[in-house]
Structure 1
Amino acid sequence: MNRVTYDAVIIGGGMSGLMAALTLAGKGKSVAVVSKGDPVCCLSTGCIDVLIHENNPLAGIVSLPENHPYRLAGEETISASLEMFIKIMHGTQSPYCGDTGTNRAILTPMGTKKITCLVPRTMEFADCHSDEYIHIISFNNIKDFYPGYITSSYQNSGRSIFNAQVTSTAAIAERFEEEEFRQEFIAWLKGRDIPDGKIALPAVLGTRTTGNIYDEISQELAKPIFEIPTLPPSMPGLRLFRTLKNTFLNMGGSIYWGRDISSVEKLGTQLEALTLSNKGRATRVQGKAFILATGSFVSGGLYAAMDSIEERVFGLPIHMPEERKHWFKENFFTTGHAIEKAGIQVDSSFRPVDAPYENLFACGSILAFSEVMKYGCGHGMAIATGFAAAQKCGEYIL
């Protein structure tokens, strides 16, 4: 069996897990991330929703219930975590822009507005007003993007369709990595009689060199352009994940990807190691401390049985509604279902309450009382709690 020892082992490779890993790696700790596969953030818009019901999301934290994970982290920690995120993304091909104290409304592929806080720089101009002219660029037979919805919502708009020879957003994004294709696209755009205003297109501006591609097209057209996030899978979400993952690797971090945890070792109140299954020899990953960031139901961190909810790695105690009949409201398409409060309760140090391990911490959407859909705090809470749990973990392993 292969044996490796780290200061900290992060279980889960989504937004919260990677943020925890980056925070600890930035403090000079040896860190490993263990993940079963690509996380849910790959399906996201790539935008950082902090708290959507307030113009100033940070100022709105105090209005949340006292047991919400944001309240445990505190406004100062949340602000520091978001600033760290912006700093991490700065200088990469996917920089972010925005003010952590101000929300913005960006255009969606359905022609509606989405409230968010921080956005990829390719969406900097996506906050559109009804009196602005918007020219929508679409692609022949593209899937997951419907310009007709947008033009019907904005009377002062137009659209053009380019034939990219491929129809999926991922395939079109790969084509934008080709210089010859970009030059053909730019020449075609310049040949359009597009009035003054903004140019919008689905989020297909590359997979690896998006920043350079965006700058090139913007400079050639001399007009503000912006991407509109498409329906999942979303290129901005995938770029976000890849950037965080690669940044962690470049900092010397280790990743065990596509690996299931077959067993857990403990000694008294200490977690000792995880054994990861493999087609060949199993791997024993030992750590001084562990952070659980496996996500909620969609990510597989929580599992709902007929009348109970289980945490899948350690079998930790779960807060849940008492009876299944109370898990959901009658109107499924509303927010505030009781099931949204299900998860692991943690103390002020982000240690799971009533857990038998003193060197285990938790973060992200697996935390109880998150109500991510109700408060619109998905990636923001993942970043903040990942950062907060890593800070407490770092203090523990000093």
Structure 2
Amino acid sequence: MSTHEYDAVVVGGGVSGIIACLKLNSRGFKTALISRGDPACCLSTGCIDVFSRTDSPLDGIRGLPPEHPYSLVGRKGVADALSYFLTVMDEAGLPYEGSPRKNRRILTPIGNQKTTCLVPKTMADADVPGSEHLQVISFKGLKDFYPSYITSRFRNSAFSVYDAGVATTLGIAALFDRAAFVDSFIDWLKRLEIPHDRVAIPAVLGMNDPAGVLEKVSRAIGKKVFEIPTLPPSIPGLRLFRALKRVLQNRGAHLYWGKGVASVESQGKRIEAVTLATTGRSARVQGRAFILATGSFVSGGLFASRDCVRETVFGLPVFVPGERKDWFNTDFFSDGHAIERSGIRVDRTFRPEDCRFENLFVCGSILAGCEIMRNQCGHGLAVATGTAAAGRCAEELS
């Protein structure tokens, strides 16, 4: 068995885990990140929802209960964390826009509007006033994108369909990474002689430099152009994940990708190491401190049986709101299912409560009381708590 030593080991490769790892790395600590595979953010819109129930996310956070993770981070901590995220995305070459002081709206592939906070630059012009004309572009054979639904909600709108030769979002995005294809697409757009104020395109404008492609298209046709996120698999979600992972690799953090934790070694009040689940030679990853960022049920950080909910890596105690019969509302599509409050309770240092380990910290959607669906705060909470947990972890290491 080989042993690898680090200052900090982050378990979980989603937005929260990567942000925590980046923050620790920027403080000069030797860091490693362990992930079983690509995270759930690959299925997301790529936008950063902070708190979508009010016009101002920071104002909305003020009204949350004291045990909510945002309350533990604090409004200034949330704002600082989001500012750090914007800096990281600029470094990654995937710029984002927005402010935690004011939400904005984007269009969805079925034509309604979604409230969010920070958006990729390619969606910066997606909040279309009802008075403006809108031209929607689709692609022949593309499923899960409905231009007629979108145009039905805008009185002054129309749509056109381009034949890219492929009919999947990943396939079309790969074509937009080729300059010759972009030029052909622009020539086709020019021939349409679009009279409308803005042009909406499914989020397929390449994987490498979507903002650059969008700027080229917009400049060529003299119109504001923006992307509309598609249903999963989501190109903006994939871009977000790959950009964060790329920055982490460029900064020299060590990644154990496609490997889960098989066992945990501890001594007294401290975790000493984790052993990775591998088919070949076993690897022992030793750390002075650990951060748990494995996500909730969808990501496998929590697992629900008929009688209980368990945390799947360190066996931490999980807060569960009542009996199983009370976990869900009668109306499944309503907000505020009790099960959303399940998770790991932490103190103000983001150490898990009722746990003997002093060098373990927790962040992300595995935290108790998040109510991510109700508050629409997924990636924003991941960024804020990942930053906060990393800060507390850095204090432990110092």
- TM-score tier, shorter chain, comes to over 0.9
Quick check: 1:45 aligned with 2:39?
no
Q: Match for residue 92 of structure 2?
A: 92
Q: Provide the rounded CA distance (Å) in 1 between the counterparts of 2:91 and 2:137.
A: 28
* 2:397 aligned residue: 397
2: distance between equivalents of 1:302 and 1:92?
31
> Match for residue 21 of structure 1?
21
Alignment of 1:221-240 (within 5 A): 221-240=221-240
* d(CA) in 2 for partners of 1:175, 1:223: 22
Q: How does 1:342-353 map to 2 (within 5 A)?
A: 342-353=342-353
Which residue in the other structure is 2:190 paired with?
190
Aligned position for 1:324: 324
The DSSP-based 3-state class of the residue aligned with 2:92 is coil
CA distance in 1, matches of 2:311, 2:91: 38
Match of 2:333 in 1: 333
2:34, 2:255 within 8 Å by CA — same for their partners in 1?
Answer: yes
Percentage of matched positions with identical amino acids = 52
State the one-letter code of the partner of 2:28: G
CA contact (8 A) 1:93 1:210 kept: no
Cα deviations by residue, 1:339-362 (Å, 9 ceiling, x for unpaired): 000000000000000112000000
- Asked if residue 172 in structure 1 is aligned to residue 195 in structure 2, the reply is no
Amino acid paired to 1:118: L
Q: Distance in 2 between matches of 1:339 and 1:100?
A: 27
Tell me the equivalent position of 2:128. Answer: 128
SS in 2 for 1:368: coil
Runs (4+) of structure 1 moved beyond 6 Å? none
How do 1:301-320 and structure 2 match up within 5 A? 301-320=301-320
String of CA shifts for 1:40-72, please: whole Å, max 9, x gaps.
Answer: 000000001111011111122110111110001
TM-score, normalisation: structure 2: 0.99
Q: Could you say which residue in structure 2 is the equivalent of 1:369?
A: 369
The answer on whether the counterparts of 1:186 and 1:217 sit within 8 Å (CA) in structure 2 is yes
Q: Look up the match of 1:34.
A: 34
Quote the offset at 1:389 in angstroms.
0.2
Could you tell me how far apart the structure 2 residues matched to 1:73 and 1:354 are?
20
Following the alignment from structure 1 to structure 2, what is the Cα–Cα distance between the partners of residues 305 and 27? 40
1:94-150 Cα distance to aligned partner (Å, 9 max, x none): 100012210011111111010001000000000011111110000001012111110
AA at the equivalent of 2:123: M
Contact map agreement 2:107 2:114 (CA 8 A) in 1: yes
> TM-score normalised to the size of structure 1?
0.99
Farther off after superposition, 292-301 or 260-269 = 260-269
Q: Structure 2: which 5+ runs fail to align?
A: none
Amino acid paired to 1:314: F
Is residue 2:227 matched to residue 1:260?
A: no
Return the offset for 1:91.
4.3
- Distance in 1 separating the partners of 2:349 and 2:93: 34
Secondary structure, aligned partner of 1:5: strand
Structure-1 separation of matches of 2:173 and 2:308: 42
Q: Please give the alpha-carbon distance, in whole angstroms, between the structure 1 residues aligned to 2:41 and 2:260.
A: 20
- Is the 8 Å Cα contact of residues 92 and 246 (structure 2) preserved in structure 1? no
1:216 maps to 2:203: no
Contact 2:91 2:247 in 1 (8 A): no
Q: CA shift at 1:217, angstroms?
A: 1.4
Aligned to 2:117: 117
CA distance in 2, matches of 1:29, 1:205: 37
Structure 1: tracts of 5 or more residues without a match: none
CA contact (8 A) 1:93 1:212 kept: no
Question: 1:201, 1:228 within 8 Å by CA — same for their partners in 2?
Answer: yes
Q: Deviations over 1:318-376 (max 9, x none)?
A: 00022110000000001100000000000000000011200000000000000000111
Q: Distance in 2 between matches of 1:196 and 1:326?
A: 51
Give the conservation status (yes or no) of the 8 Å contact 2:350–2:363: yes
